[in-house]
Structure 1
């Protein structure tokens, strides 16, 4: 059985203050390294805070910008993989993105949120690609917050060969129950481990609800942080013996789904 140590950085970033948030990130990475972690996952838009609104043009960076350059240096120094959320600019478009950086400080890839929630669409463009990133830890797929509520995305990552799904989150009240159930469901229905890292704190009327979890292939939470702030680590099996009576992927009826997808719904 292959397993890795995964850390959750359930923290409270400061809105609009990338310098402060990078300090939080550095401290968290150091803590995870002390806990012998292989990978640490941060919340959605952690480097800027979530409700940046009209400040997006001033806070967004490219994938080679100064903030991610600093994160790369930290990953190399502490020999740890990191998944971190940031506001990305590319060719004049803004995205809610998550970067996967390896333990050598190399950017393995960037995922752009494909399902935008509520007012996010006023400031950001939805992503159009679903990636699985090969790494020395295994094949990693990434989703961001509202994405977890769409089972098609996690299923597509599984079909593409993902062995682990990492989710950066900025989930808020009153939707804690949604993500608590959906994250476990995405793991169970795809027989794949899920790591979901949410944040705490408040921004305006938004109150973020935590509940970060490390979930195994059976939908069991191996680590659940609830409302606790800090960095915690869990052993997560990646390749486990699956129940042959289930075999959800192999037993799909694609002939039915493809026909249904062509129907028009109103």
Structure 2
């Protein structure tokens, strides 16, 4: 299966513009043969939206999610998109998967810094999986992947790939995470990892623009040539890495 990843410059509070960008990227991804498009953390509303986040938050059956579903149907592919999810009085930093009539929502469990902790509620850690094109995909969001237990939980649950919408900040720590941690998470769990970043500026935040798609053997399958918007493609074919799984038997040798 061919995966597409959109490194995107989201517009804070401008949902219509972000949906339009998603629609154009979905068309490009489908034309390139992709069956699944992954986009950044809170890309539909803008990570730096701040006080508008509670106002833009919607439930999974709201108009925003239906708009994403319409785009997915129009281009005949699956989409993973970040949004602010409302559940009663709680607002979650969430990622949505939609394809046809299938929908899955994952809520971020590890909130980063005072900004996220002000606007969102943390969800309990979970192994949220969905099946698409014959493969099992797990969902995490940004900071979640920096805790190895989260990726291991998904790998043990049977994930072939872990999809991670992110808003990695510009700076030395962000560079290190993209350059080293993503490949290690893939290798130590023998899964694909698609780490899909925001780029540019969004409100008070500047992003690293360091999207990475890593294979189970730690190889980087796709990365942007710069730090601006980019649409990347990578094949997700688990059987290609049978030798790597045979040589690196971490999951079967793990002692709980």
| Same-fold status (TM-score > 0.5) | yes
* Matched-pair contact (CA < 8 Å) for 2:11–2:45: yes
- For the pair 1:79 / 2:76, whether they are aligned, the reply is yes
* Matched-pair contact (CA < 8 Å) for 2:195–2:212: yes
- Partner Cα distance (1:178, 1:118) in 2: 18
**Superposition deviation, residue 245 in structure 1:** 3.5
**Superposition deviation, residue 177 in structure 1:** 2.2
**Superposition deviation, residue 204 in structure 1:** 4.0
Q: For structure 1, which segment, 48-57 or 83-92, has the greater mean C-alpha deviation from structure 2 after superposition?
A: 48-57
- Partner Cα distance (2:98, 2:164) in 1: 15
- Partner Cα distance (1:164, 1:82) in 2: 15
2:144 is matched with: 147
Instruction: Report how many residues are paired.
Output: 249
Q: Which runs of 5+ in 2 are unaligned?
A: none
1:263 is matched with: none
* Matched-pair contact (CA < 8 Å) for 1:216–1:237: no
Q: Secondary structure at the match of 1:75?
A: helix
Q: Secondary structure at the match of 2:238?
A: strand
1:238 is matched with: 238
What is the root-mean-square deviation of aligned Cα atoms in Å? 1.4
1:177 is matched with: 175
- For the pair 1:114 / 2:146, whether they are aligned, the reply is no
TM-score (norm 1): 0.90
Q: Secondary structure at the match of 2:65?
A: helix
* Matched-pair contact (CA < 8 Å) for 2:10–2:202: no
| C-alpha spacing 1:246/1:235, structure 2 compared with 1 (3 Å) | closer
Q: How does 1:56-135 map to 2 (within 5 A)?
A: 56-102=53-99, 104=100, 106-119=101-114, 120-128=116-124, 129-135=126-132
For 1:41-90, what per-residue CA distance to the aligned partner results, in whole angstroms no more than 9, with x for missing partners?
00000011002222222111111111110110111121101110000001
Q: Which runs of 5+ in 1 are unaligned?
A: 255-266
2:189 is matched with: 190
More helix by share: 2
- For the pair 1:43 / 2:27, whether they are aligned, the reply is no
- For the pair 1:215 / 2:211, whether they are aligned, the reply is no
Of structures 1 and 2, the larger Rg is shown by: 1
| C-alpha spacing 1:204/1:13, structure 2 compared with 1 (3 Å) | closer
2:30 is matched with: 33
